[in-house]
Amino acid sequence: MITIYSLFWTIFNCSIMALIIFVLRTRTSFITKYGTPILYFLIICCIIRVLFPVEFPDFQYVIGDSTVYSKLCKPLTSLLFPTFPDWFLPLLIFVWVCGSIFHFIRLYISSKDVQRAIKDTSCEADGRVREKLKEIDPSCKLPVYTCSGITVPVLAGYFHPAIYIPDYSYSDMELHYILLHEYTHWKRKDIWKKFFVNIIWVVIWWNPAVYAVRKEVSNLIEFRCDRKLAITLSDVDIVDYLVALRSSFQRAHTPMIKTSLYTIEFVNTAKRHTISQRFDLLISIHENSRRRLFSQGILILLASLWMVASHYFILQPKYETPADAFHGDMPDNQTISFIADKNNAYLEEQADGSYIFYYNNIPIEVPSSEVESGLYDFYPIVKYKNEKSFSLNNLLSFLKNSFLKQE
């Protein structure tokens, strides 16, 4: 089930994982040694965790924190406590859906504007460009256009992809590596990977970790493409490829059309550190070519354990219950947890159909609509008992007393 606690716990876990992904991605030595598949696996784990912000009460172990987390959550006690108003959960879902619709419309309109602007400023490339593409793959029918509205070559289009290159004068060597790079993106379906991450961002827009993962996926797509090319090239060819990257980066300036969210760019001028890292990775591509499979396996195992642990453990605040709120004798110096579980909480159904939630023997009235919605399915439900109720235990007690009187 999804609760406020599980949402906060998901945001916390995914933010930590996004930070780890960012730190590892910026370490060229790590990527050179272990490759990008490890980072891809971490991103997949993070995305799965984002998409399933749920908790499993029958499976989980609750960790109560009475220091930092409890102080952070105390201002939101009215939301975190099970007695939030009936209208709160529908309102939360309504805001979530409205936000997703807003981001989807915004993404769709921006994407259409980019496609329209590119097509309006494009014309079919000359025969020299098409011949260069045929040298790479004679059977390739990927269209190539010259576009005056962009400053770096891009691959654009989901269902009808095409390569667009700026209206510059490129040498044969530069043109070869530009087309080879974008062709590799097309063969690897990289633009669909970017589309998938954008859809996740639309759905889970409220989680800040999604924004970080969205950026890191774009960087990893470029690293993977560079590596795919470089392992087939000689050292001399890699130098030529670096020259083509450097030339495109130097020629690029602020474009009339901002395409980074909807296309695969040859170079991204807004990320100087990333282009520098691409250079370092390409230079060291033939170093440490033997992957340490054992180390990779350990890292994948640790990431998998993190996934399981993030669902098995859940952090919740822990407070001291006031003595006057406790029903019955409370031992001295005893702290009562504000963590509701099967051992300290249950529902009691009243004769009129309403419910009382007993939490460390503290009675809390809860609306029947919340119980019927399944919010309290985790807790046992007992029937209300009064003096007039008649049960099997009452019958046995009555027969026992009658028998004793007869003796």
Same domain, 113 and 172: yes
Tell me the per-residue pLDDT of 40-58, one tens digit each, with 9 for 90 and over. 888 888 888 888 877 776 6
Which has the minimum average pLDDT: 94-108, 137-151, 163-177, 387-401?
A: 387-401
Average pLDDT of the chain to the nearest whole number: 76
pLDDT at 117: 81
For residue 262, pLDDT over 50 is answered with: yes
Give the E-state strand segments of 157-256 in sequence order.
162-166
Query: How many C-beta neighbours within 10 Å does residue 55 have?
Result: 21
Same domain, 278 and 302: no
In this structure, what token pair is assigned to residue 137? 């793959």
Same domain, 226 and 141: yes
Does residue 225 lie within any of the structural domains? yes
Give the pLDDT mean for 381-396. Answer: 52
Predicted TM-score (pTM) of this structure: 0.67
Same domain, 242 and 280: yes
Strands 381-383 and 61-65, by their bridges, are unpaired
For residue 404, pLDDT over 60 is answered with: no
Give the pLDDT mean for 369-383. Answer: 69
Categorize the per-residue pLDDT at 387 as very low, low, confident or very high, splitting at 50, 70 and 90: very low
Same domain, 169 and 245: yes
In order of 24, 38, 204, 223, the CA distances from 295 in angstroms are 15, 10, 32, 20
Strands 355-359 and 345-349, by their bridges, are antiparallel
CA angle 299/302/304 to nearest 5° reads: 110
Does residue 89 lie within any of the structural domains? no
The total number of structural domains in the chain stands at: 3
Categorize the per-residue pLDDT at 327 as very low, low, confident or very high, splitting at 50, 70 and 90: very low
What is d(CA 388, CA 391) in angstroms, rounded to the nearest whole number? 10
Query: How many C-beta neighbours within 10 Å does residue 217 have?
Result: 21
pLDDT at 336: 46
Does residue 22 lie within any of the structural domains? yes
pLDDT at 328: 46
Higher pLDDT, 380 or 397: 380
Same domain, 238 and 374: no
Same domain, 67 and 148: no
Query: How many C-beta neighbours within 10 Å does residue 200 have?
Result: 17
pLDDT at 99: 92
Residues of the chain by 3-state class (helix, strand, coil), percent to 5:
55, 10, 35
Same domain, 3 and 73: yes
Give the pLDDT mean for 128-150. Answer: 88
Does residue 211 lie within any of the structural domains? yes
Categorize the per-residue pLDDT at 388 as very low, low, confident or very high, splitting at 50, 70 and 90: very low
Same domain, 114 and 254: yes
For residue 160, give the nearest of 143, 179, 146 by alpha carbon. Answer: 143
Categorize the per-residue pLDDT at 181 as very low, low, confident or very high, splitting at 50, 70 and 90: very high
Does residue 136 lie within any of the structural domains? yes
For residue 279, pLDDT over 60 is answered with: yes
Does residue 304 lie within any of the structural domains? yes
pLDDT at 73: 62
Same domain, 19 and 111: no
Same domain, 113 and 212: yes
Higher pLDDT, 50 or 225: 225
pLDDT at 246: 87
For residue 395, pLDDT over 60 is answered with: no
Categorize the per-residue pLDDT at 152 as very low, low, confident or very high, splitting at 50, 70 and 90: confident
Burial 8-21 (b: 16+ CB within 10 A, else e): bbbbebbeebbeeb
Same domain, 283 and 293: no
Q: Structural domain of residue 271, as residue ranges?
A: 107-287
Does residue 133 lie within any of the structural domains? yes
For residue 84, pLDDT over 60 is answered with: no
Categorize the per-residue pLDDT at 3 as very low, low, confident or very high, splitting at 50, 70 and 90: low
Segment of 160-164, 280-284, 388-392 carrying the highest mean pLDDT: 160-164
Does residue 120 lie within any of the structural domains? yes
